[in-house]
Amino acid sequence: MNTETATVTRADLSQAVYEEVGLSRNESAELVEMVLEEMCGALERGEVVKISSFGTFSVRQKAQRIGRNPKTGEEVPILPRRVLSFRASNTLKERVDSSN
């Protein structure tokens, strides 16, 4: 993991697969890409992606609503859209909480 920015990248994930599973670096990178692509495809189709002991990714439809421009106070319509949401599993929440 890149500790300077505390961000896990695709390269970090590929490296972890390489070290843990023993695939070649190229195979590890391809495996990570395949998993991410499958997740993206499922979410695009409106499916729920549930990863045991990690969490659930889902897409919600948000209806049109009226928002307000904070500078001018003018009301503006916010168009309907699909939004991605993530709900962490209790296992993940406990791991994160206990790491303090």
Q: How far apart (Å, rounded) are the C-alpha atoms in residues 49 and 9? A: 20
Tell whether the model's pLDDT for residue 100 goes beyond 90.
Answer: no
Q: DSSP characters for 8-43?
A: --HHHHHHHHHHHH---HHHHHHHHHHHHHHHHHHH
Mean pLDDT throughout 15-36? 95
Instruction: Give the CATH superfamily of 1-45.
Output: IHF-like DNA-binding proteins (4.10.520.10)
Mean pLDDT throughout 61-90? 95
Q: How confident is the model at residue 31 (pLDDT cuts 50, 70, 90)?
A: very high
Give residue-wise pLDDT tens across range 39-58: 999 999 999 999 999 999 99
pTM passes above 0.85: no
Q: How confident is the model at residue 74 (pLDDT cuts 50, 70, 90)?
A: very high
